Amino acid sequence: MAHNVTSFPEEITLVHGVPVATAQRTFLDLARKLSLEDLVALGDHLIRLPRPELEGRSAPLTTLPALRALLARHSNLQGIRKARLSLDLMRVGADSVPETKLRLALVAAGLPEPQLQIPLRPWDRYSPSADAAYPASRVGVLYEGEHHLTPWQQSTDMERDAQYSEAGWILIKANRHDLRNRFARTVSRVRNALVRRGAMPGIGVVRPANETPHQDMP
């Protein structure tokens, strides 16, 4: 269904000669349609730092200041309040929608906000990285998508896991089943790992009902 909107010249770009809304403007237009969680995931994608060797670009699609400036020009647009709230929840570092939803689930559960894309060895360009991490506690969290099921990736993951284990880290993995269940199991495991590392004093380790010990936990 077509609809009319007010836009400024800088909110329009050309794609193969056809005028279309910029990525920033599309974010704002979708604010009235998407859930807050999905809008944050979209925003995380727009501000993430790309990998030039894989994506052919070195700059993000937009920045938080640019999005804030856009929202300031449209203070009465439908969905503007949700868009403003989403900016406060967006972070640079999430490489996928599941990674954003994992971070939001951890924070919503009252856990400390993790750092994103933290390398095991910051000085080593070939170091493996955790999607989310608590470096001071040596607790890392990974979301493993379908590509992690390939033989080559499984071999790479085994080497990565060994490096984290040798460095004394607790590495917790989540997958599409956890995503479907809003990461309830993952949140529990991260909380327990932080408790065991002394990062959440006064809170005891809790094992969910029908949960068996997990290999990620020591």
pLDDT tens-digit series, residues 15-38: 898 988 999 999 999 999 999 999
Query: What stretch of H or E contains 73?
Result: none
Q: Which residues are 132's β-sheet partners?
A: 116, 141
Neighbours of 74 (CB within 10 A): 20
- Residue 25 CA neighbour count, 13 Å, CB half: 14
CA dist., res. 102 & res. 94, Å (int): 10
Residue 207 pLDDT: 64
Q: Cα–Cα–Cα angle for 56, 59, 61, nearest 5°?
A: 100
> For 72-92, how does the pLDDT look when each residue is reduced to its tens digit (9 = 90+)?
999 889 999 999 999 999 999
List % helix, strand, coil for the chain (3-state, nearest 5).
45, 15, 40
User: pTM (2 decimals)?
Assistant: 0.86
Average pLDDT, the chain: 89
Would the pLDDT of 146 be above 70? Answer: no
Q: In the predicted model, is pLDDT for residue 185 greater than 50? A: yes
Where does the pLDDT of residue 4 fall: very low under 50, low under 70, confident under 90, or very high at 90 and above? low
pLDDT at 52: 87
Q: Is 145 helix (H, G, I), strand (E, B) or coil?
A: coil
Is the model's pLDDT at 55 over the cut of 90? no
Strand ranges inside 59-138, DSSP E: 115-119, 129-134
